[in-house]
Amino acid sequence: MNILIGEDEIRERVKELAGEIISDFGYEEISIVALLKGSFVFLADIIREFHRQGSKLVVEFIDVSSYGGATSPQGGPSVREFARPPVCGRKVLLVDDILDTGRTLSKCRLILEKEDPRVLKTCVFLVKDVKRLVDISPDYYGFEIGNKFVVGYGLDYDGRFRELPYITEIDDISMPAGRQKPK
Q: Please report, as ranges, the residues that interact with ligand PRP according to CB under 6 A.
A: 35-38, 65-67, 73, 77, 96-105, 156
CA angle (90 as vertex; 89, 91 as ends), nearest 5: 135
Measured from the CB atom, is 41 or 47 closer to ligand PRP?
41
Closest to ligand PRP by CB, 102 or 117: 102
CB half-sphere exposure, 1, CA atoms < 13 A: 17
CB of 124 to ligand PRP, least distance (A): 8
CA distance 116 to 130: 30
Give catalytic status of residue 100 as yes or no: yes
Min dist CB 162 to ligand PRP, Å, is 8
Q: d(Cα 67, Cα 49) in Å, to the nearest integer?
A: 29
Residue 26 CB, nearest approach to ligand PRP (Å): 28
Nearer to ligand PRP among residue 29 and residue 74 (C-beta): 74
Distance set, CA 144 to CA 21, 100, 129 (Å):
18, 11, 7
3-state DSSP assignment of residue 129: coil
When the beta carbons of 31 and 66 are compared against ligand PRP, the nearer one is 66
Catalytic residue of the set 45, 96, 97, 100: 100
Cβ-proximal residue to ligand PRP, closest one: 38
User: Considering the complex, what minimum distance in angstroms separates the CB of residue 52 from ligand PRP?
Assistant: 25
Encode 113-144: b = buried (16+ Cβ within 10 Å), e = exposed: eebebebbbbbbbbbbeeebeeebebebbbbe
Active site residues: 100
